[in-house]
Structure 1
Amino acid sequence: MSDTEMLRPRLTTLEAAWVIARRDFVAVLFSRAFLFFLLGPLFPVLIGGLAGSIGGQVQRNAVSIEVGLALSPEDNAAMIAAADVLRPQLAGQVPELRVIEEAAQDSTFDARAFLDQRRGNYAAILTGSLAAPQLVGTQGQIDRWSGPIELIAATASGASPSQFPTATSEVVATSAASERTNRVRTAQAAQMVLFLLTMLLGGMVLSNLAEEKGNKIIEILAAALPMDAVFMGKLFAMLGVSFVGIAVWGTVGWAFWAIAEDAIVTVTQTNFRELPGPAVGWPMFMVLGLIYFTMAYLLLGSLFLTIGAMAASVREVQTLSMPVTMLQLMVFFLSAANIGQTGTPLELGAIAFPLSSPFAMLARAALEETLWPHALAVLWQGVAVILLVKGGSLLFRKRVMKSGGAGRAKKSWFARRAPAPSQPSSGPAE
């Protein structure tokens, strides 16, 4: 038995992996860099939300449409009354009508000169009479508002009815086509969240390995513990750190929701309506989302560890990670393109390819109720993680052993070439 084997602690692979996972988890969790990492995504979200709110308010103020009225006082009042009648039936198609005080006071009022002076916030100005209205404005505004203005003028003059029949309606909860279309939106949103979390948190594995490669800690661990255990421990340590990060961001999001619930609900209903429920139900979908995030993170992390095993320096680690990032983007686009194409060869290929399998199966959970394919997919993804970890650790072991063997060979060569130390003479030569 060699000296290294005698000094190596007698730990199983799982025990050694637990030691590495606990060491890395504590080291990363209580570091200042992790605190800044947690705060990093919050500032862009906060700034983006404030900028969007301010920009939306400015746009609403700037885009308010007003058409000026330069008719007789009676015609102005009739136009405003007709607009109020038509506005409930033509939501968004009836502009705000405002009487121009300068036109009422000046019999020689010139609408063209008034618009050239850029006074007020008028898109166009209506002159003439109810029988012969004339709209003054740019060509775009005339094309947009001539039809509604003509309808309002016709209603004000009595040529159009002021009373409109009310149509009855019968609303159904859903239909097969609309339900599937809505679930596609849920699948797209779930894939996007999974991709962003994986890419945002997966880089911690690469940065941690690059740091330990730079200060030679990884080689010390490789000499003391099985390399499979080192890789597996690092993966699960970074996975635990990722769950801590998600928990922190989720808590902040929940607190923000509790503070601004009304505003968030209003924006959500306005822009996204209601996110439809997945086919497997929300509880099972959340469980599958957690499982597929775990598998996607382990797959990407094991690939990053393999890249770290191939690289000889921190610069090479960063260089080689770029193709993997681009590969992940292509994998995401491949999975997103197959949403709704259940059972097609391209969708089955995305499920079979390990890196795209979590994304494709999460989308399928939103569209299909069957659960047994998810068990097979998770099993295959776990096998892929083990194979990647085995391959990465084998590659790293070969590189470390090769460098160590080369160093010993070089040392033995110099030892052979060095002159033998002279022995001290025991006495004068006879």
Structure 2
Amino acid sequence: MSRFRRTLRQTLTIARRDFIATVFTPIFLLFLFAPVIMGSFGAIGGLGAASAADGAQDKVRILAIVPATLARPIAQTDARLRAVFRADEAPPTLTVIAPAADPAAQARAAFDRKDLDAAAVLYGPLDRPQILYGPRGDRAADYLALLAGTSIAAERLGGALPTVAATKTAIQRRGSSIGGQHQSAFFAVFGIFFLTLFLSGQVVGTMAEERNSKVIEVLAAAVPLESVFLGKLLGMFGVAVLFVTFWGTVVSQVGSLLPPQMAAGFGDLAPAVGTPMFVLLFGAYFTMAYLLLGAVFLGVGAQASTMREIQMLSLPITILQVAMFALSSAAAARPGSWVATVAELFPLSSPFAMAGHAANSPDLWPHLAALAWQALWVTIFISVGARMFRRGVLQSGSAKPFWRRAKVG
């Protein structure tokens, strides 16, 4: 048996061992259904917040203090203008009030009413209206000004604006739009970030238990440490693939039940390389992102011997992942800029940024170079991690991590 085949066999044996040890345990079911648990708590909190917001929003009004002769025309104009708004974008409900002896004082007093929250109040003649508005009521004030101007126009044209019979025709783009490409880019960056944030952190603690039980010393005596590290990384990646496959299947079935408007929103996602190639590249870059971050986390986590030290490493690991997401998001929003170039070349952010690049540019050759570049850095990180472990832990026999060991001499 050649050296390469023997090394490959040893690596796959370690990977199979770690995969089985992780998957065939009751705790894995808790990990697999963790998104349901987190989503349930999020949904409960979201429903409570939405209920409170809706209850407060129902009380918000815009007021028009106008004579009775203008009450009906301004209400008709309001109904006509609202037809162009979506339900969640429409101004607050209009309430028409007859003027009192002092309309200015009446308008100011409207903001102190207990039965409603006044966002903006109009009073005075419609050609020179006075509009008061409260916090976050500037858009409502603009709408009242438009409402006054449109009502005057309708009055001067005989009581109603002319009806325009417009012919509207929907057009399908032949290619992807810039907005669709940018949305696809952000979706790709966020998708890889979310998956790696949730999954790659599991690699940190894979060595701690075996260090404490001295199993790692037996493995290191029988198998090269590089094979141990790569095998453990591949085993945990297999767990990640199982997780993604399970939830990908669930989400694909739930997606068919989405409302037509929401499904149409996903249809606006239009990557420049085309959807089939984009899916393949997304999978490839998720793989490389997991291997790159996992190799770094495995090398650093191998220096920790206790759960407390592993927990202390969680914060810098999370900060690193968020930093890579921020850099790659900036690159996706500015394709071709120096920020994009830096993000695409830096090893840890390269998979994120190149996934966004696939959405913004139709060229395929940069992806071959990027995948080779990322694979090179996976090899480097695994080699460096294994060397640090060999010299810092096995050779010295010290259980202390490298950052806590005192220099000799």
Give me the TM-score of the superposition, normalised by structure 1: 0.73
- Aligned 1:349-428 pairs, distance under 5 A: 349-403=342-396
- Structure 1 residue 12 corresponds to structure 2 residue 6: yes
Provide closer, same or farther for how the CA distance between residues 61 and 299 of structure 1 changes in structure 2, counting only shifts above 3 A. Answer: same
Deviates more, 1:216-225 or 1:322-331: 322-331
Provide closer, same or farther for how the CA distance between residues 335 and 66 of structure 1 changes in structure 2, counting only shifts above 3 A. Answer: closer
Provide closer, same or farther for how the CA distance between residues 124 and 217 of structure 1 changes in structure 2, counting only shifts above 3 A. Answer: same
* Aligned twin of 1:33: 27
- Structure 1 residue 328 corresponds to structure 2 residue 330: no
3-state SS, counterpart of residue 310 of structure 1: coil
Deviates more, 1:25-34 or 1:109-118: 109-118
Provide closer, same or farther for how the CA distance between residues 96 and 332 of structure 1 changes in structure 2, counting only shifts above 3 A. Answer: closer
CA distance in 2, matches of 1:133, 1:384: 67
1:196-245 per-residue CA deviation (whole Å, 9 max, x = no partner) reads: 11121111111222232233322222123222221111111100100111
Provide closer, same or farther for how the CA distance between residues 370 and 57 of structure 1 changes in structure 2, counting only shifts above 3 A. Answer: same
3-state SS, counterpart of residue 369 of structure 1: coil
CA distance in 2, matches of 1:394, 1:156: 81
The Cα shift of 1:128 comes to 8.4
* Aligned twin of 1:261: 258
Match for 1:355: what amino acid? L
CA distance in 1, matches of 2:117, 2:374: 61
Provide closer, same or farther for how the CA distance between residues 382 and 79 of structure 1 changes in structure 2, counting only shifts above 3 A. Answer: closer
1:49-74 per-residue CA deviation (whole Å, 9 max, x = no partner) reads: 45445544553453355456777766
CA distance in 2, matches of 1:333, 1:129: 51
The Cα shift of 1:295 comes to 1.1
Tell me if structure 2 keeps the 8 A contact 1:341–1:347.
Answer: yes
1:373-427 per-residue CA deviation (whole Å, 9 max, x = no partner) reads: 212221222222122222222222234542359xxxxxxxxxxxxxxxxxxxxxx
CA distance in 1, matches of 2:74, 2:194: 53
Provide closer, same or farther for how the CA distance between residues 315 and 224 of structure 1 changes in structure 2, counting only shifts above 3 A. Answer: farther
CA distance in 2, matches of 1:122, 1:348: 50
Match for 1:118: what amino acid? K
- Structure 1 residue 118 corresponds to structure 2 residue 114: yes
* Aligned twin of 1:185: 183
- Structure 1 residue 215 corresponds to structure 2 residue 208: no
Tell me if structure 1 keeps the 8 A contact 2:131–2:141.
Answer: no
Match for 1:261: what amino acid? L
- Aligned 1:3-402 pairs, distance under 5 A: 12-53=6-47, 55-56=49-50, 58-64=52-58, 66=61, 75-88=70-83, 96-97=93-94, 116=112, 118-119=114-115, 143-144=141-142, 146-151=144-149, 153-154=151-152, 157-158=155-156, 162-164=160-162, 166=164, 173-174=172-173, 179-258=177-256, 260-262=257-259, 265-267=260-262, 274-320=267-313, 322-339=315-332, 341-402=334-395
Tell me if structure 1 keeps the 8 A contact 2:208–2:305.
Answer: no
The Cα shift of 1:363 comes to 1.3
Question: Which runs of no fewer than 5 residues in structure 2 stay unpaired?
Answer: 399-409
Name the % identity. 35
Provide closer, same or farther for how the CA distance between residues 129 and 95 of structure 1 changes in structure 2, counting only shifts above 3 A. Answer: farther
Number of equivalent positions: 387
Match for 2:284: what amino acid? I
Tell me if structure 2 keeps the 8 A contact 1:17–1:232.
Answer: yes
CA distance in 2, matches of 1:367, 1:131: 49
User: What is the root-mean-square deviation of aligned Cα atoms in Å?
Assistant: 4.1
Specify the structure having the higher radius of gyration (Cα): 1
CA distance in 1, matches of 2:132, 2:342: 61
CA distance in 2, matches of 1:203, 1:195: 12
Match for 1:234: what amino acid? K
Tell me if structure 1 keeps the 8 A contact 2:61–2:118.
Answer: yes
3-state SS, counterpart of residue 12 of structure 1: helix
